[in-house]
Structure 1
Amino acid sequence: MATLTVPPVLTSPADDAMQLYRAFKGLGCDTAAVINILAHRDATQRSLIQQEYQKIYSEDLLKRLISELTGKLETAVLLWMHDPAGRDAIVVRQAFTPSVNLQAATEVICSRTPTQIQVFKQHYYSRFGTHLEHDVESHTSGDHKKLLLAYVTMPRYEGMEVDRATVEMDAKALFKAGEKRLGTDEKTFIRIFSERSRAHMAAVSAAYYNMYGNSLKKAVKKETSGFFELGLLTIVRCAENPTKYFAKVLHKAMRGLGTDDTTLIRVIVTRTEIDMQYIKAEYLKKYRKTLNDAVHSETSGHYRAFLLALLGPNH
């Protein structure tokens, strides 16, 4: 469930465009007004506002936002202005640019459903003129590269049906490929993790525990490392419970000294219109604190106001 709150009576996209223009005019930008409009419009409405703004003022709204906003707020608002698939494409592309952020690329690729991956691959190509696979090939290496390439090219079943016999076979194969032997047979891990549906992987994880008294996640941590490990863990955690996975990512981003704002922005902006309500519930259950309170204590100013607007009421 989304946490986005849209007013019951909406102004027209043209009116929104005019209000934004007014907020930009004069000395300094009326940032509160900008947040008040954009943080309460869904993907379709944001797209229509951009079209109207271009039509009325012959100016690209995104370019105007870049010149009016700064810092973390600018990053968050600009990412928010795109639809989910466009955003995924942008996040992954940025993750592959000079300041390579393989964590972000791995998280987005390995936490998305096959349908989401297909759509964002199309966006990626039309926006950047290059195939996602090509960039994965150029910027990653070793087993991590093999896993990501398999994951973005394999068609996977998205239903809930599971074949018990195959589940047990996969659990055995993973045990033999990892904990049972010296060294690790990474090929088997890549094959099973990239070819199986989420429901199947969740069942394999449960079967693995029942058969060997050890969790599949622990086995992955023991047998693999680095971004390859991160990719495998993301796949299995999202198979079991994607909202719990994202609650954990958010908690980690705000833990300790300093905040990992890149991760905070990425997760809040990309999940607001999908399942943020459930992520908030998982966060509260696991960390005994509302996500809103955690974000409030780690951020400030208009940046804080924008993120909290996306998160909706504090509960």
Structure 2
Amino acid sequence: MSYPGYPPQGGGYPPQPGAYPPQPGAYPPQPGAYPPQAGGYPPQPSGYPPQSGGYPPQAGGYPPQAGGYPPQGGGYPQAPPQGSWGGGPTGGYPSIGLDSLSNPGYNAGMPGQNQGPGMGYPGQPGQPMPGYPRAPSPNPPMAGYGGAPAPNQPMAGYGGAPAPNQPVAGYGGAPAPMPAYGGGGGGGVMPVAPPVNRGFRGTIRDFPGADPLKDVEVLRKAMKGFGTDEQAIIDLLGSRSNKQRVPLLRTYKTAYGKDLIKDLHSELSGDFRKLVMATLKSPAEFDAYELNSAIKGAGTDEACLIEILSSRSNAEIKEINRIYKQEYKKSLEDAISGDTSGHFRRLLISLAQGNRDEREAVDISLAKQDAQSLYAAGENKLGTDESKFNAILCARSKPHLRAVFLQYQQMCGRDIEKSIGREMSGDLESGMLAVVKCIKNTPAYFAERLYKAMKGAGTKDKTLIRIMVSRSEVDMLDIRQEYVKNYGKSLYTDISGDTSGDYKKLLLKFCGGSD
């Protein structure tokens, strides 16, 4: 359906070119593989013009949205020169006793952590702490490892132009495939490899030349009169990025004096209506809404709590906490505490702090120590010390934990996931496994969640909607690749066979194509 003065909709973007090649070896990727993340969606040159009714003029982009994730630094902090592999750590992790990590106040013992308020990252690599003087590095940086970007590079948020081909950062991206770690010598800090820019890995981009006034006119005409033009709604919402969709709520009210959400709610129904409602929330608002839905009422959707809290970055979790308190008048931690119990509650509360170490350097000697601690707390013990698992898996950095998992495999001949399955059960097992899977390979974790949502009788539509919307501008291309690799058929094919009607059409817009 087309309208005068408005370009016809093409039904979304064509499938993106193939994702990165299969990983050449065992996990984990080397540190520094994550591309820089920005806290919000980067602006496009052809943004919406300033609107009356409260829109401040923006330079070539949309106004900032309430509930969007705050911008993160546009690169990793400057890495200090690294010493030789055989020497002691130079600016890496000092050895931290797990007893202090298990203590509720363990953050005070995490070296280099930023203890001040705010949403920043933990301390930078190589920060000296009292009792941990910085060791001088006698050697220059190792050949073949580029330095980290300078700390004052422009941030890829709303205010500046994004770097070419940077992924949109509503949610944290997936790690790039890397060669496996070596066995490690006598310890030392593994140098940080330069970030790998894999380009945009989502399926929904900013629509060039989109105009919010024309967009709300399309939506108004689609709902006006007898019947509803669902295809016009699908074509529009399925070809606009989140930062282009969310401002339509205010523009619609400004233009027509009506509430877009209420009008859509009255015109649509079923899972299609739920999907449309999800597209009109910012990432943090949608996550907070899903967490509240998982907690309130009879029963708890533990899988939803685990999925969101184990896969989001520190900055994203902090913004979710802020929105949750603002919208639901209580803290997320209090809501979790009142609805869960035992070690599972401790795991969720730890994850909900958004306080994971985010340094990229890996201290191999500490990785071996943590692997030994996990073995001693599980496989090599009568019973299980769950607090040791909680302390290491919730506090250590992702690059460090990938090294820990490799050391664990080499030490006891068993994958950490197998050990968790042997030592734990129920929601705690599911939660710990989700943390490990997200650290190893985030797209593969979401591919598994989607497969299980559609497998067998019935469809877990809440899970399907949540993942398809939340990952469409982050790593949907990678999820599609993992899906076809692990399950032998494309995500597009399974969605087509498991859903129907307008609901299916809009889901396939977010999927972006077949593989």
Which range, TM-score by smaller chain?
Answer: over 0.9
1:303 matches 2:503: yes
4+ residue segments displaced more than 6 Å: none
Which of 296, 302, 311 aligns to 1:102? It is 302
Given that residues 154 and 194 in structure 1 are in contact (C-alpha distance below 8 angstroms), is that contact kept between their aligned partners in structure 2?
Answer: no
Normalised to the residue count of structure 1, the TM-score between the two structures is: 0.96
Structural RMSD (CA): 1.3
Deviation, 1:305, is: 0.2
- In structure 2, the CA distance between the partners of 1:90 and 1:70, relative to structure 1 (3 Å rule), is same
Given that residues 252 and 260 in structure 2 are in contact (C-alpha distance below 8 angstroms), is that contact kept between their aligned partners in structure 1?
Answer: yes
Aligned partner letter, 2:435: I
SS at match of 1:119: helix
Distance 2:220 2:316 in 1: 34
Deviation, 1:133, is: 0.5
Deviation, 1:255, is: 1.1
Deviation, 1:27, is: 1.6
Of 208-217 and 78-87, more deviation after overlay is shown by 78-87
Given that residues 154 and 195 in structure 1 are in contact (C-alpha distance below 8 angstroms), is that contact kept between their aligned partners in structure 2?
Answer: no
Distance 2:359 2:267 in 1: 45
Distance 2:205 2:313 in 1: 25
1:293 matches 2:493: yes
Aligned partner letter, 1:306: L
Query: Which residue does 2:280 correspond to in 1?
Result: 81
Query: Which residue does 1:170 correspond to in 2?
Result: 370
User: Residues 156-199 of structure 1: CA distance to partner in whole angstroms, max 9, x if unpaired?
Assistant: 22243211111111111111111111111111111111111111
1:211 matches 2:411: yes
Counterpart mapping for 1:39-50 below 5 A: 39-50=238-249
Query: Which residue does 2:390 correspond to in 1?
Result: 190
Distance 2:346 2:338 in 1: 12
1:256 matches 2:427: no
Distance 1:44 1:206 in 2: 39
**Aligned residue-pair number:** 314
Which entry has the higher C-alpha Rg, 1 or 2? 2
Deviation, 1:150, is: 1.3
SS at match of 1:168: helix
Query: Which residue does 1:62 correspond to in 2?
Result: 261
Distance 2:357 2:350 in 1: 15
Given that residues 252 and 259 in structure 2 are in contact (C-alpha distance below 8 angstroms), is that contact kept between their aligned partners in structure 1?
Answer: yes
Query: Which residue does 1:35 correspond to in 2?
Result: 234
Given that residues 3 and 273 in structure 1 are in contact (C-alpha distance below 8 angstroms), is that contact kept between their aligned partners in structure 2?
Answer: yes
Query: Which residue does 1:23 correspond to in 2?
Result: 222
Given that residues 317 and 354 in structure 2 are in contact (C-alpha distance below 8 angstroms), is that contact kept between their aligned partners in structure 1?
Answer: no
Given that residues 96 and 139 in structure 1 are in contact (C-alpha distance below 8 angstroms), is that contact kept between their aligned partners in structure 2?
Answer: yes
Which of 157, 179, 199 aligns to 2:399? It is 199
Distance 2:366 2:282 in 1: 37
Structure 1: state its 5+ residue gaps.
none
Query: Which residue does 1:123 correspond to in 2?
Result: 323
Deviation, 1:151, is: 1.5
- In structure 2, the CA distance between the partners of 1:209 and 1:312, relative to structure 1 (3 Å rule), is same
Query: Which residue does 1:51 correspond to in 2?
Result: 250
Deviation, 1:238, is: 0.6
Normalised to the residue count of structure 2, the TM-score between the two structures is: 0.60
SS at match of 2:459: coil
More helix by share: 1
Distance 2:305 2:436 in 1: 17
Deviation, 1:286, is: 1.3
Distance 1:92 1:66 in 2: 21
Given that residues 113 and 158 in structure 1 are in contact (C-alpha distance below 8 angstroms), is that contact kept between their aligned partners in structure 2?
Answer: no
Aligned partner letter, 1:191: A
SS at match of 1:167: helix
Distance 2:359 2:512 in 1: 31
Distance 1:171 1:160 in 2: 18
Query: Which residue does 1:220 correspond to in 2?
Result: 420
Query: Which residue does 2:290 correspond to in 1?
Result: 91
Distance 1:194 1:267 in 2: 22
Given that residues 198 and 238 in structure 1 are in contact (C-alpha distance below 8 angstroms), is that contact kept between their aligned partners in structure 2?
Answer: no
Structure 2: state its 5+ residue gaps.
1-200
Query: Which residue does 1:141 correspond to in 2?
Result: 341
